Chain A
Amino acid sequence: MRLKQFILYWSVPSLLLAVACFQIYQVKFENKSQWKGGGFGMYSTIYPFVDEIWINDEFISTKGLPKKDSLKLKLLTYKIKVHPTQKHIQNLLEELNLNKDSVKVQIFKPEFDLDKSVFTKTLRYETTYRQP
């Protein structure tokens, strides 16, 4: 009877709670974007897809690429912007054919200085990726 009551009244909210808590954990400890992952953090930060990825001090842009390559690169960079894991970074480096032993990866996010109506950027994430 208790199990039935739990399933009826609390199972779905419990699942929501567990997913949202896990997402907040990932936000705090894995630099995941608050926008995605079921934690309801939309609008807490600027949309992550406008962040910039710089590798070895070069901005990764999809401008000028053929449509197919551009889409593939966008997808790989979007994944890093949402959740910068070693796996996602490795996938991007492979796509860019960067086979150096050590690669500096930085994500910059836009920032506003509202007192002076100025638009600038700040470092959100930085890592030095080493080939396994």
Chain B
Amino acid sequence: MKRLIDNLNQISTLKLVSTCFLLFLLIYSPRLKALYVIYLVFAALVYVIVDKTYFKKTYFWLIILGLLLPRLYSNILFVGNHYFVMVYLVLLLMIVTSYKTNTDKVLAHNAKVILTLIMSFAVLQKLITPDYLKGNSIAMLAFTGNALKYVFYFNEEFGQVFQENTSTMAELPQFAYSENPRLKLQSPFKHFPQLIIWFSYFTVIAEILFITALYLKKQWLKHGFIVFFLLSVLITREETGFLSILCILMIMLVGNQKSYYRAAYVATFILCMSFIIVGKGEL
């Protein structure tokens, strides 16, 4: 294991980030049903075989950007937020390969600021939305069994309750607003609705702690919390697409100084990729 981690540590940050990002695109493209992305990854693989330093070429990233932008433009109302981050990542890789100065420092700085902004906006949007703090958003997931999926996975009784709730909720469009429809849902256990509200607040607190953790000096506490956060989101929400991108940003932030932390983020990234390959998770 130590040898594996040492070998991983010898790879430059730019190369590791580029490889992870292209691997993500490769695995992500069939789920997107985006043919041009498949062509893009195919071209990238050919290029990797012919020229091992592909990731240092600005025009390589320029082509990738050129292939990602049309989808962003044509599907701007449908693409997830991580698609925007993918475009930002490619832009950053273009800039880094173009200037070729302080690569690791530039990547780490950008990763830190980008992660801070992403989490700050995530917190801000939740705080300015009364619906969120009332538990609406989490309730939709919780009553249908889509939150804490793996926690309830082995309980058949709960599964039955979630299934019945899903059927009840599907009836809502049958009623006009003027009829004031109020469909009664079942709770799998007594304090389930309270748990939903606590979980809503807990999520905001966890995101604030994530931002704080980015600026902690104690590395074990910082990365310990962030890895725990990423794995918790993976288990509760299966946001594999977004988590993969967050892992790539964390790999950028860590650089190759802290070998065990880098290995932890690469392992989490591989876990996300595995989930995507077997068709699990949201993209």
Which A residues are within 8 Å of any B CB, using their own CB? 4, 7-13, 15-17, 19-20, 24, 27, 34, 36-47, 50, 52, 54, 57, 59, 61, 78-79, 82-83, 106, 108, 110-121, 123
Contact = CB atoms under 8 A, between A and B. Distances in A.
Interface size class of B (residues with CB under 8 A): 35 or more
Interface stretch (B53-61, B63-71, B117-125, B151-159): B117-125
A46 B197 CA distance: 14
A24 B229 CA distance: 25
Interface string B183-226: 11111000011101100000100000000000000000000000
A34 B96 CA distance: 31
14 contacts: A10-B113, A11-B91, A11-B95, A12-B92, A12-B114, A16-B84, A41-B129, A43-B138, A45-B129, A50-B140, A114-B139, A117-B185, A120-B181, A121-B175
A27 B180 CA distance: 27
B132 A12 contact: no
B109 interface: yes
A120 B183 contact: yes
A9 B132 contact: no
Interface stretch (B12-20, B42-50, B165-173, B269-277): B165-173
Nearest to B129: A44
| Residue from A43, A46, A50, A57 whose CB has the most chain B CB atoms within 10 Å | A43
**What are the 7 tightest A-B residue pairs by CB atom distance, in nearest-first order?**
A41-B125, A38-B84, A40-B121, A114-B193, A112-B139, A13-B113, A44-B129
B161 to A, nearest CB: 11
Contacts of B175: 121
